[in-house]
Amino acid sequence: MPVTLDSPVADFQAQATSGQQVQLSALKGRQVVLYFYPKDSTPGCTTQGQNFRDLHEAFAAANTLVFGVSRDDLRSHENFKAKQDFPFELISDGDEQLCQQFAVIKPKKLYGKEYLGIERSTFLIDADGVLRHEWRGVKVPGHVEAVLQAARELAAR
């Protein structure tokens, strides 16, 4: 059952970079941004990650943890994270558990061929584990700033 706005997000556990296991219930008391992106080291995904990297301290000041999520394996994630100097962890969702939970797998087209891929989407979960904001079909320019603004407003409540 996909998560819906203003509802608690079902607890999950996922493998991430730096040998981390990310468990939502263990993050209570902190806001969480999950940004889903199609593929490591592609132009749009790199720019989006760099934008989150560049505003990382501002997210931390708003009591917000950031995690990138894609279906890439941990080795690919580790390389991407190191090359871009990301200060946040990347979650490997090879079994699509999180992608299904947040309903981000959509039909896409590339060179006339249809396939199922991740629709660039971002979710902001409050400190109590409730989904408060979602952005779907994200365009990269200006997006991270909008997420930061929402995180700041939520933290100020």
Main-chain dihedrals φ then ψ at residue 19, nearest 5 degrees: 70, 20
SS3 142: coil
Main-chain dihedrals φ then ψ at residue 156, nearest 5 degrees: -80, -10
Output the CA–CA distances (angstroms, integers) from residue 79 to 97, 118, 127, in the order listed: 23, 20, 30
Q: Helix H segments across 19-156?
A: 43-54, 56-61, 74-84, 97-101, 143-156
- Name 90's bridge partners: 68
Please answer whether residues 146 and 30 qualify as being in contact, where contact means their C-beta atoms are separated by less than 8 angstroms: no
In tens, the pLDDT along 129-146 reads: 999 999 999 999 999 999
In tens, the pLDDT along 42-81 reads: 999 999 999 999 999 999 999 999 999 999 999 999 999 9
> Which token pair is 101?
């939970």
Residue 45 a catalytic site member? yes
Predicted confidence band of residue 110 (pLDDT cuts 50, 70, 90) = confident
Predicted confidence band of residue 108 (pLDDT cuts 50, 70, 90) = confident
Instruction: Report d(CA 154, CA 133) in Å as an integer.
Output: 10
Among 16, 45, 66, 91, the one annotated catalytic: 45
> What integer pLDDT is reported at residue 115 of this predicted model?
86
> Which token pair is 82?
């190191």
> What integer pLDDT is reported at residue 20 of this predicted model?
95
Decide if pLDDT at 1 tops 80: no
- Name the nearest CA neighbour of 79 among 47, 116, 39, 48: 39
The pLDDT of 80-95, averaged and rounded, is: 97
Please answer whether residues 41 and 80 qualify as being in contact, where contact means their C-beta atoms are separated by less than 8 angstroms: yes
CATH class given for the domain over 13-156: alpha beta
Instruction: State the residue for tokens 């979960």.
Output: 125
Output the CA–CA distances (angstroms, integers) from residue 147 to 56, 61, 126, 135, 157, in the order listed: 12, 14, 13, 9, 16
